[in-house]
Structure 1
Amino acid sequence: MSMSIPFQVETDRVLEILSKQIYDSPFAMVRENVQNSYDAVLMRADAEGKPLAEYLIEVKVGLGTISITDNGIGMSESVLRDNFWRAGSSGKNTESARKAGVIGTFGIGAMANFGVCAELSVTTRTLGEEIGYRTTAQKSNLKIGQDCISFEELDSSIPVGTSILATLDGNAHLDLEGLKAYVGQFVKFLPVPVFINDELVSQQDQMASIGIVGWQSIGKIKVQADALAFELEAYISSGVGVGVQCSDFSLDGTPIKGSMCLRNGMGSIMGLRSSFGLAPLPVGSTYQLGGVADLPFLVPTAGREALTRESIAEASRIFAPLERHLTELLSVHPIADSLVAFQQHVVASNRTELAKRIKIQVQDGEDQIELGMLETHFAGLELQSYDGTDPDLIKMFSGSDIPLLRISQSQPRRELQRRYLSQILKVPSIPNHATVTKEYEPSELTRDEVSLTFALVKVLRNDYMLDDVKIIWAEITHGVPLTTKIIGDQVTITLSRKWAPLRAVLGHIQTSFELLDSFTKDLVRVHIYSHIQSFVPSSQRSGLDALQRSLERKRELYRLDRDDYGALEPLIADYLSGEVEITQILKAAVAATAVQTQHVTLRQVGTVEEVLSDVISAAVPPAMGQPVAVPVAGSPILRVDTTIDERLLTTDQELPHLNNYKMFLALSDRLFHQELEFFKWPHSTQVAWAGRRIVYLFSGANSGISLYYDIELRGLRSAGDAGGSALTTTTIVANNRILIPVPAALTDCFQVSDGPVEFYVRFDLLMHHDPVNRGPIIDSTD
């Protein structure tokens, strides 16, 4: 036997679920009803052909009540019955409504108000009719499909327009100042006067709000972005500010309503339609443009918390051509030399020819000349460039007849200068590697230097089994202390005469010559051995052979004491005359990475929300918040103007702006000062752990350079069983800190309670001889 059962709905529960998805607070309810009032004003102004400023929207907040009144087009009986009080039906999906530029088309109607209202009363009269209406509904009496809404006809004494009176639920709280601030961000650019308790919260000027009023205009240019076209006007401030105003929009040649007012460094863009605020527009840009974008194709989601993906994608297509044309306008202005964002865009877009106004230092003085003026300034002269910092080389080549162009050490200026000089001007560069500029003859050495030479050869022969050693005293560029090479069995060591450890030993033997042998042994062991290690015979067969030769050879060197000078005069004289050769080894002193101790106390712990408020309040780029399975190079979050005192940042939230990581650990101060430039460029991030060891590996994008950061926990802290993963790069670079994400599996290792967390750290750069494409680069900036 078959039967049917009725479909039943609990009205109260349905209203609670659906309405609170739309208006979850009185603030949201007011915003949406003000938007409806603005739509009504738009339609009436379009019908009457009057300026929007002649109309009015008023919000009144009383004790437990809110009223929203407008003198817009009003609602007819059919609109009231079929649209306003019927969920899912909108009266704005008409050609006339679209022509007027209305915002709302979802058809949620009155229903959503009951998320915060106990009673709703609507009084309205539509344009062109003599009869008005008042309808009232109480939330407790609403039943689906039943006549539970009162309906009353009114005469023409009520004005054209609509007034909504909402009685709030008993537990609904309304902060008046908070309401003004909240609604103000959506209506502040409306041309219609909007009052909240008699205070004007609209009719603000976009340029004044963005902060570019009074800035210098540097030109206009027509921009074509697929089928969309508009006029761009660029502005600059006396410092390094850049502003943009876009107007005269057209689609396939047909004029449309639209405007944009943007400024660099603001971080986020508010999406508008017909001047009404919708939601943040999350688009990335090299210039970090922020401000407002009033575009007719922007559509909010039903809950108004974001824009639809389709409208974001359509808006995103505007920004690549916008920045391209902005860069062209800026390229002819002197601000190009000081505007980092311009230089980054030129590098990223590979438009090196636009770098003409970037300046470069000439010779070893303070003179700076624009790249585009070099050929004119040095007409008839050859040029040469240098991208290093060695003062001896700079002094040497600055004194020549060929002007030396000194390439900056700061990115992106450095890359721009290198490209312009090599690609456009074809300027050759001088070697940026260690060069021996002078070798001293034995006759040019002091007696102490000769004594140290003999002592070095003696130690290398007796202690390291190097029979054939040649030592050369020289001047070496780039601050390199020594170089080494081996040809056959002869090891040649070229020592920089300015090398500090050598000068220290020479200073000591002037007063304590009897300690020459001890000082020499220490010099070789600490500073020289690492450079000659590959030349020293091993414990295998070659080592035994070398030992045999050492035992068989004649003793030709002796301990040199201050009192022996007289007896050794003939030997020293032969060396100084060049008749005696002494072999020796060269090597550059290695700044071996020392182990550092790091500790974090409770006062050095902060929250992400307090320290990085600008990051988490910015729009979220589409690629953010997505985990990675393999290492993928991503851009760091650059906040180089921000000082961060804390060494550990935590949050209880999953923030997509920070790829949902809840803890960030500061790297050591020493690493910050030595390797800051590495972390400013895109890189991938990996981490592995086992027991007390945690090792991070950062790899530069397609650079062949990686950096490891080795953490050794102390005390009872442990990372547990072996594990590891690739992390989404979320490196934060401030002006005094580099912070890296800590995955959830490791956060307990760094939690700070009563006592500090202490651990050892080591780090070093790793060079790869065959850098390969390590995958795509993702953008994690605002």
Structure 2
Amino acid sequence: MEILSNEIYDSPYALLRENIQNGYDAILMRKQLDVKKFEPKIEVRISASEIIIEDNGIGMNQDVVKNNFWKAGSSGKNNDIAKKAGVVGTFGIGAMANFGVCKTIQVLTHYVDGNQTIETFADREQLSITEECIDFRIFDEIREPGTKVTAELDNKTTLTIPGAISYLSPYVKYLQVPVYINGQLVSQATYTDEAQVKEDNLLHSEHLIVHTGDRSVTFGLTIKINKQNLVKIFIDKVIKDGQAVNGDISLSQGLGGIYGLRNYFGLAPVPVGGSFNLGGVVNLSVLHPTAGREALSRESIDFVSKIIYAAEYMLADVISDLEMGDQNSGFLSYIAKTGRYELAKKIKIIVYPGQERWSMEQIQQTLHGRNVVYYAGREQSTILQFGNENTYLLQVSQDNPRRKIQLEYLKKLNIEEVPDKVFIIKEYTVNELNISELTLLLRITNILNEDYLIADTKIIIADISHSVPSVVEKKNETVNIYIARNSGAVQQVLQIYTTEWALFASFVKDFVRNYLYQKFSQYVPSSTKQGADALQQILMKNKELYKYEYSEMGEVEALLSEFAAGEIGLAEVIKKSNTITRSQKQYVGYTQVGSVEEEIPSIVGVEVFEDLGIDGFAPLPPIIRRETTTEKKLLKTDKSYPSLNNFQLFLSLSEKIFKSQLSFFLEPHTTKVIWSMHKIVYIFTHASNKLSLYYEIELKEKLSDDSTGGKALPTTTIVTDNRIFIPITSELSGFFDLASGTKEFFVRYDIIADFSEEV
């Protein structure tokens, strides 16, 4: 019953999904069993008061109707025929689940191997466990096999044809069997076209046999790259542990998220944190949904992730030999994320004099009798000074991940940096500092010790050459951080000390996050694999504790106890459990919308004084305001604040995730969002790249047809005393910006860890 009410019926239209799935499975089983050819089809008819779902599948005999169809937890698809047919559903939810939105159900079915037609009927108000409440009528006749389900809707449920088509589209549009909704065909679309490239637009094509790192999975990989430098891949002939897996995978750059199918029936999005921004369809027979159908199982996600990571590994090898790799952002992201800098041989770098573009593989310590040096800055005078007739100067890009790749590649070649390095002009002693500066040093030291776990630090206020605001270097075991006394950011913090003491601590935290973190991040213990492993153990403990409390304290179990004791009837259980379902949704009411300026004023007071020179898409810690408590669930602003990366809308994560996963969000992480149909999925990845948390938002209304996409976001997570806020990208702000009423949606999350060796 808990699965029935809390998981399956996220929408009244789920009734259609479940019965269409049953009809599709019946057709697959008939194809497996019946040697006679037939034209399979599924028809759905919707009116104001009832729905009809009819298929010409295998049908049901008396045993299946009585012991499987009307019984929850007893599936008629756990047999050899069903397994060979590749049916989608095996949970055995049963017809009783339909009573979540229906008053009566009538079933007319004719089994393929027999001459009997069975008619059965049930009324929700008459359901009982002590008396026979299901009507049966059996009569002999010869007719086409199949099943017809007629459900009378209750008075609170309204289904529309456009609503049904919109809801069912991701589940049925790729079915090879025709599915009609009031005469309109809604299936038989193809997804493999996305992996194809027309011959006159083909830049490169290659086919490979790929093995995963642990050799447990083998598959064929076809790579096609068009002249716009977009990558498309097609994966087939998948073999897992020596057994063939039916299905294939069709992905292309720029399509947004990845959606999972089993035997062409849609299941759920697949949250895979790859680097190439591949989107499309994974259609594999080994994919399984969770019991509530709202997501894929952990095993399914892990299996797909293993294939995608192995495919990306080989894809990167192929692209590394092609000139187009220099212009493919996914390839650059892959190199930076995995550290496979040897693949960057075709990546270009600007060379002076002449401002030419050379491939990295052309670079040597000496070329044409000239020394070769590199410069990571942008001062024109330095470029002109060292890029001359005696020296080639390589100007490193200012944009990541290209900058990071170029620097790492040049270091491996032992190319010297131009002798124009920043140096410390003067270190100020304690006696030369005023009280506000001394307090700043103490506060930064405490933040590094407590928030970032760096125990041995030394903070020095100094004069630094080249107008550089800060320098971080490690001497022996001590992390030395030099802060320019004349830095505009430092002066702002010191002014707050004098004028707004209550905000001083928050401003110092922001100063460390915005101006110092990426310079000392390599010394933060949690950025290592060991740190991520320890964090995962903490998160798993939190998750186990939450699950224990939920199972012990759930209201549905109390209802079932009353039901078992005979105190209430089954119909009442269904009604009350539906109420509990609503209590587990996430709501944002108009009264819970607040302004950033009023709720967290100290954030918007942060002024950016210089180009930070940091990678906005690299892992960053959150903006921490633990001194602030807010009851608002949606924060908005009409202004663009650099300290908030110009985002104007922030959504609070659920209270459950705040309680169980706060430790994760206090760590440095990256942020990615993908969206399609009814789903929006955020993927937060720990600084170690070994741990990801995905947060799925399922809207009751469908996103617009052309609203499909995905992108990396600069991490702008805000943590208050009682909430975690995440930024809403401008493409999605219209779905959350409340002017009145209440926004209602469903949420779920999970932790995905990858501590395996690279392929």
TM-score by length of 1: 0.58
In the other structure, the counterpart of 2:562 is none
Deviation at 1:667, TM superposition (A): 5.7
Aligned CA distance change for structure 1 residues 159 and 63 (closer, same or farther; 3 Å): farther
In the other structure, the counterpart of 1:727 is 666
Amino acid in the other structure paired with 1:221: L
Take 2:69 and 2:183, find their aligned partners in 1: how far apart are those partners?
27
Amino acid in the other structure paired with 2:27: V
Identity of aligned residues (%): 34
Which residues of 2 match residues 29-40 of structure 1 at below 5 A?
A: 29-40=15-26
Which residues of 2 match residues 447-596 of structure 1 at below 5 A?
A: 590-593=486-489, 594-595=491-492
Which residues of 2 match residues 119-134 of structure 1 at below 5 A?
A: 119-134=104-119
Take 2:142 and 2:609, find their aligned partners in 1: how far apart are those partners?
74
Of 314-323 and 235-244, deviating more is: 235-244
How many residues of Structure 1 are paired with residues of Structure 2 in the alignment?
Answer: 515
Match of residue 674, structure 1, among 611, 616, 628: 611
Deviation at 1:745, TM superposition (A): 5.3
- Secondary structure of the 2:608 match is helix
In the other structure, the counterpart of 1:275 is 264
Which residues of 2 match residues 180-191 of structure 1 at below 5 A?
A: 180-191=165-176
Deviations 1:385-414 (A, max 9, x none): 222223222112221333222222222212
Of 253-262 and 41-50, deviating more is: 41-50
Amino acid in the other structure paired with 1:316: S
Deviation at 1:670, TM superposition (A): 5.0
Deviations 1:638-688 (A, max 9, x none): xxxxxxxxxxxx9679xxxxxxxx989966785286226254322334747
Match of residue 741, structure 1, among 718, 729, 735: 718
Aligned CA distance change for structure 1 residues 363 and 162 (closer, same or farther; 3 Å): same
Deviation at 1:207, TM superposition (A): 3.6
Take 2:84 and 2:70, find their aligned partners in 1: how far apart are those partners?
25
Take 2:285 and 2:717, find their aligned partners in 1: how far apart are those partners?
40
Match of residue 313, structure 2, among 324, 336, 344: 324
Whether 2:210 is the aligned partner of 1:218: answer no
Judge conservation of contact 1:190–1:276 (CA < 8 Å) in 2: yes
Take 1:664 and 1:732, find their aligned partners in 2: how far apart are those partners?
24
Take 1:430 and 1:43, find their aligned partners in 2: how far apart are those partners?
71
In the other structure, the counterpart of 2:239 is 250
Judge conservation of contact 1:121–1:165 (CA < 8 Å) in 2: yes
Deviation at 1:36, TM superposition (A): 0.6
- Secondary structure of the 2:121 match is strand
Deviations 1:121-173 (A, max 9, x none): 11111223222211111112222253222222234343211111111112211
- Secondary structure of the 1:383 match is strand
Whether 2:326 is the aligned partner of 1:429: answer no
Deviation at 1:59, TM superposition (A): 0.8
Take 1:317 and 1:84, find their aligned partners in 2: how far apart are those partners?
37
Aligned CA distance change for structure 1 residues 210 and 182 (closer, same or farther; 3 Å): farther
Match of residue 397, structure 2, among 401, 408, 412: 408
Amino acid in the other structure paired with 1:595: Q
Whether 2:105 is the aligned partner of 1:158: answer no
In the other structure, the counterpart of 2:681 is none
Take 1:83 and 1:72, find their aligned partners in 2: how far apart are those partners?
16
Take 2:607 and 2:35, find their aligned partners in 1: how far apart are those partners?
68
Q: Which runs of 5+ in 2 are unaligned?
A: 429-461, 466-483, 497-531, 543-586, 591-598, 630-641, 645-661, 673-710, 726-752
In the other structure, the counterpart of 2:28 is 42
In the other structure, the counterpart of 1:547 is none
Judge conservation of contact 2:194–2:252 (CA < 8 Å) in 1: no
Take 2:234 and 2:349, find their aligned partners in 1: how far apart are those partners?
32
Whether 2:191 is the aligned partner of 1:230: answer no
Q: Which runs of 5+ in 1 are unaligned?
A: 1-13, 436-481, 487-528, 533-587, 599-620, 631-649, 654-661, 693-706, 710-723, 749-775
Amino acid in the other structure paired with 1:248: K
Amino acid in the other structure paired with 1:184: S
Larger Cα-atom Rg: 1
In the other structure, the counterpart of 1:348 is 337
- Secondary structure of the 1:345 match is helix
Of 311-320 and 378-387, deviating more is: 378-387
Match of residue 101, structure 2, among 106, 116, 119: 116
Aligned CA distance change for structure 1 residues 50 and 42 (closer, same or farther; 3 Å): farther
Take 1:747 and 1:255, find their aligned partners in 2: how far apart are those partners?
44
Judge conservation of contact 1:275–1:294 (CA < 8 Å) in 2: yes
Aligned CA distance change for structure 1 residues 736 and 666 (closer, same or farther; 3 Å): farther
Aligned CA distance change for structure 1 residues 651 and 111 (closer, same or farther; 3 Å): closer
Take 1:127 and 1:691, find their aligned partners in 2: how far apart are those partners?
66
Match of residue 387, structure 1, among 376, 380, 402: 376
- Secondary structure of the 2:65 match is helix
Judge conservation of contact 1:664–1:740 (CA < 8 Å) in 2: no
Take 1:483 and 1:210, find their aligned partners in 2: how far apart are those partners?
58
Deviation at 1:64, TM superposition (A): 0.9
Judge conservation of contact 1:663–1:742 (CA < 8 Å) in 2: no
Deviations 1:476-527 (A, max 9, x none): xxxxxx96799xxxxxxxxxxxxxxxxxxxxxxxxxxxxxxxxxxxxxxxxx
Aligned CA distance change for structure 1 residues 485 and 18 (closer, same or farther; 3 Å): closer
Match of residue 71, structure 1, among 46, 52, 56: 56
- Secondary structure of the 2:612 match is helix
In the other structure, the counterpart of 1:103 is 88
Instruction: Answer 1 or 2: higher relative contact order, Cα 8 Å, separation at least 6.
Output: 2
Deviations 1:243-274 (A, max 9, x none): 32211112234322021122335443222111
- Secondary structure of the 1:362 match is strand
Deviations 1:312-332 (A, max 9, x none): 233332232122112112212
Amino acid in the other structure paired with 2:19: N
Judge conservation of contact 2:603–2:643 (CA < 8 Å) in 1: no
Judge conservation of contact 1:24–1:115 (CA < 8 Å) in 2: no
